[in-house]
Structures are given as structure tokens and as C-alpha cells.
Structure 1
Amino acid sequence: MRKFSLFLYYLILNKLPHSSVPLIGLPCERLKEFFAKRMFSYCGTNVNIGKGARFGNGKYIRIGNNSGIGMNAKVPNNIQIGEDVMMGPNVTIFGANHEFSRTDIPMRKQGMKTYPPVEIEDDVWIGSNVIIMPGLVIKKGTIIGAGAVVTKSFPAYSIIGGNPAKFIRSRKM
């Protein structure tokens, strides 16, 4: 059932409109959620998968209640997304990167370096066009400003932004 759901998602479902489209948006989102429960290792309730979102084979994805993968987002097939996570459009999250430690071999021949899965904790807001590098933990309550390039982890309840992303302020006063 998982392979059939994945095939159907990439053939038809990822072209369906966003939940904000009047009349048909919400039923389309519920249909995508129905199939996500069959593709992902865990899928909570009220999950929103945006139009054009890509997640590889999705086999090891875990996504919590009331969370979403943004429109045209590209996420690795082993990401962990907590509850109440908002993700804007065009977000790219990497799960691996090129190996480049040796200088006697061209980088393209050194293969890929793997990292632990990216983990996005609960109550996170990721703005549009954000890039998150592999192996990071996005802590609870964090806000990532649009266009940020996140290369390291930050404390919980941080507001971060920029390229590379820098700490702007804490949400806790």
C-alpha cells in the first residue's frame, strides 16, 4: 500500500490545490493526509502537505498533529517534524551533503556524507524560501525568518534569520 500511495501522490496528489483554495482546498488536503498516513512512518492528524511538496520515498518521515510541509518544499525522507509546525513555501531541508575532506580526489568522486535526521521540534514557524542544512535540530518555539540559511542549531524560542542565520532575539522576555 505504501508504494501505491507514493506513486499516486507523485502522479496526482501533489498537484492538488492548497487548503486555502475555496471549496476544494480542504477536501484535497484531507485526501493528501489520508495517503500520507500510508507513506510516512508516522503521520498525525490535521496534517497539511502543500502542493508540489517533495519528500523522496517518505518511508522514515514522522510528522506530528497540526503540522505541515509547505508548498514546493523539498525535505529528506527521514525528517522528524513535531506538532504545530508551520512551513512556508519553497523551503529546502537537506539530509546529506557532498563529502569534500580530501583534496587529492575531485569532490564529485568523494560521495555523500550522511548526517542524523533533521529534527523540527514542536511549535516552529519556518518562513518561505528557508534552507536548512543537514543534521540540525530546530528547537521548540523557534521562528525562522524568510530566506534564512540555517547552518547551526539555536536555543528554544529563538527568532533567527539571515544568511547564514543569526540569533535575532528570544521569544521569551
Structure 2
Amino acid sequence: MTKKMNLGTEAYDQVEKINQINQKLVQELNTGAHEPNEIRQAVEKITNEKIDSTTEIRLPFRTDFGRNLHIGKKVYISSCSMFVDLGGIYIGDKVLIGPNATIASVNHQVQPSKRRHLELKPVYIHDNAWLGANVTITPGTVIGENAVVAAGAVVTRNVPANTIVGGVPASVIKTIKEKN
């Protein structure tokens, strides 16, 4: 599902109002030392959603908008991860996100005259997925349940459940089979 957002529209102006508030909250969160509960409370203000007490977020935490970031239970988000969430990022339960991961749900239009206009495509990361260090998840992709994205991979298409992907662009390396 692709939505377009144009500069100078009422919708874009509303985003900018929220963004001005949230960028200050993000900057305040990333300065000084904070207890885990304080971090969750700050992220709740940024996302305008309850963050479960089982979720752990390491600082610095970065988002360009915040209100379209949805975080499940027992999630671990490592330091320096970036969430470009205007198009929507949905993180399931028990997801692991390594350091310096970038998850983007926003792109710019290719046509030069509309380059500064945005295309919004949600990203879904299903339960128990693991994103390694320095991965990039591009707009509109789905990471399947139990999938693993190897460190440094760039995901440009959907990742099937129970697979390991790696490379640029990411491709399936192998299928995960549960051992008894």
C-alpha cells in the first residue's frame, strides 16, 4: 500500500507540527543517563503508545517522526537504530534489532519535479524476527516470522518466514528448521 504525501499540504503541515515536538523529545532522550523505565516512558511520549515493560530500548534511539512506530512485547532494540516511520513500522513480539539498523517506510518520488514529495509504504517485522547489525530495511517490505536478516544486509523485498537472508540486495541463504 503506497500513499503519497506532498509538501505544503494540510497533511504534511500536521506531520511537521508533530515532528517539531517529537524531535525535541528524541534529543532529550538521547542526552544523559536514563533508567530502562525512563527510556520506555520517553518512547511512549514519542510514539503516543504504551511500550510494554518487557521491551528494552538502548540509546541512542532515533526516529524521524515517531507516531507511526508500533513496538510489540519482549522486543530488544539496540543502540543507534533509526526508524523512518512516517509510512508506518510495525514490530511484532520478541523481535531483536541489532545496532545501527535502519528501518525506512518513506521514500522520495523518482520524477525530478516531484523529488521532494514522499511515498509512504509500511514495513512489517513479524514475531521473533532478528535483524543483525547495520541492516537496512526498505519501504514496503515484510520480514516474516522467525526470519533472520544477516548483518549488513539491505532488504529490498519481502523476507519469507523461517529463512536467513543476507547480502546487498538481501537474498535467501537458507531455511531455518527447528531442532528437537
| TM-score relative to the length of structure 2 | 0.76
8 Å contact from structure 2 (residues 25, 46) kept in 1? no
Q: Does 1:35 align with 2:34?
A: no
Shift of 1:5: 8.4
Equivalent residue letter for 1:99: Q
Question: Aligned partners of 2:97 and 2:61: how far apart in 1?
Answer: 11
Q: Give the structure, 1 or 2, with the largest relative contact order (CA under 8 Å, sep 6 or more).
A: 2
Question: Partner of 1:14 in structure 2?
Answer: 30
Question: Aligned partners of 2:30 and 2:37: how far apart in 1?
Answer: 12
Equivalent residue letter for 1:13: L
- C-alpha deviations, 1:138-173, integer Å up to 9, x for none? 111010100001010021011010111010111126
Question: Partner of 1:62 in structure 2?
Answer: 70
8 Å contact from structure 1 (residues 16, 51) kept in 2? no
Change (3 A) 1:15 1:99: same
8 Å contact from structure 1 (residues 39, 59) kept in 2? yes
Shift of 1:132: 0.9
Shift of 1:128: 0.4
Provide the identity percentage: 30
Question: Partner of 1:48 in structure 2?
Answer: 56
Shift of 1:112: 3.5
What CA RMSD, in Å, does the superposition of the two structures yield over aligned residues? Answer: 2.5
Question: Aligned partners of 1:110 and 1:4: how far apart in 2?
Answer: 23
Question: Partner of 2:15 in structure 1?
Answer: none
8 Å contact from structure 1 (residues 41, 62) kept in 2? no
Question: Aligned partners of 1:162 and 1:7: how far apart in 2?
Answer: 32
Equivalent residue letter for 2:77: I
1:39-118 pair list within 5 angstroms: 39-42=46-49, 43-77=51-85, 78-100=88-110, 102=111, 107=112, 109-118=114-123
Greater per-residue strand proportion? 2
Shift of 1:69: 2.8
- Number of positions where the alignment pairs a residue of Structure 1 with one of Structure 2: 158
Equivalent residue letter for 2:66: G
Worse overlay, 159-168 or 59-68: 59-68
Question: Aligned partners of 1:136 and 1:4: how far apart in 2?
Answer: 28
Change (3 A) 1:4 1:38: farther
Question: Aligned partners of 1:97 and 1:7: how far apart in 2?
Answer: 20
Q: Does 1:162 align with 2:167?
A: yes
| TM-score relative to the length of structure 1 | 0.79
SS in 2 for 1:12: helix
